[in-house]
Amino acid sequence: MKRNTAFIRILLLSLLLIFGFTHFSFALDQVVVGAWNVEDLGKPEHRGNSAKGVPQQAADIANYIKSSGVHVLALEEIYAENETGNPQNDTLNKVVKTLSSDGATWTYRLFRGPTSKAVTRLTGVMWNEAILKPAGDPMPLDVPPNSFHGKGKPTAMKFSAGQGKMDFVIIPVHMKSNRGGVEKAALQRVEEAKMIVACLPAVGEKFATDNIIIIGDVNALHHSEEAIKIFLDKGFRDLNEQDLVTYISKKCTNSPLDRALVHSYQRVFSDSKMEVFKPTKMTPEEFRQKLSDHYMIRVSVKITP
Task: Using alpha carbons, select from 106, 160, 156 the residue that is nearest to residue 135.
Answer: 160
pLDDT of residue 119: 85
Give the burial class of 271: count Cβ atoms within 10 A of its Cβ; 0-12 exposed, 13-18 middle, 19 or more buried.
exposed
Distances (CA, A) of 210 to 13, 24, 166, 240, 268: 42, 27, 11, 20, 10
Task: Report the predicted TM-score, pTM, of the whole model to 2 decimal places.
Answer: 0.89
Task: Using alpha carbons, select from 283, 282, 219 the residue that is nearest to residue 252.
Answer: 219
For the chain, domain boundaries? 30-302
30-302 fold: Deoxyribonuclease I; Chain A (3.60.10)
Per DSSP bridges, beta strands 106-111 and 122-128 are: antiparallel
pLDDT tens over the chain, length 305 residues? 445 555 445 444 444 433 333 333 334 689 999 999 999 999 999 999 999 999 999 999 999 999 999 999 999 999 998 877 889 999 999 999 999 999 999 999 999 866 667 788 999 999 999 999 999 999 999 988 777 765 678 999 999 988 888 899 999 999 999 988 999 999 999 999 999 999 999 999 999 999 999 999 999 999 999 999 999 999 999 999 999 999 998 887 889 999 999 998 888 899 999 999 999 889 999 999 999 999 999 999 988 77
Cα angle 138-139-145, degrees, rounded to a multiple of 5: 120
Number of other CB atoms surrounding residue 121 within 10 Å:
23
pLDDT of residue 81: 87
H helical segments located in the chain? 2-27, 58-68, 90-99, 182-207, 226-233, 284-290
Whole-number Å distance between alpha carbons of 151 and 201: 23
pLDDT of residue 116: 67
The amino acid sitting at 210 is: D
pLDDT of residue 147: 76
pLDDT of residue 21: 32
The amino acid sitting at 188 is: Q
The DSSP 8-state label assigned to residue 251 in this structure reads S
pLDDT of residue 287: 97
Distances (CA, A) of 133 to 58, 96, 127: 24, 16, 8
pLDDT of residue 201: 97
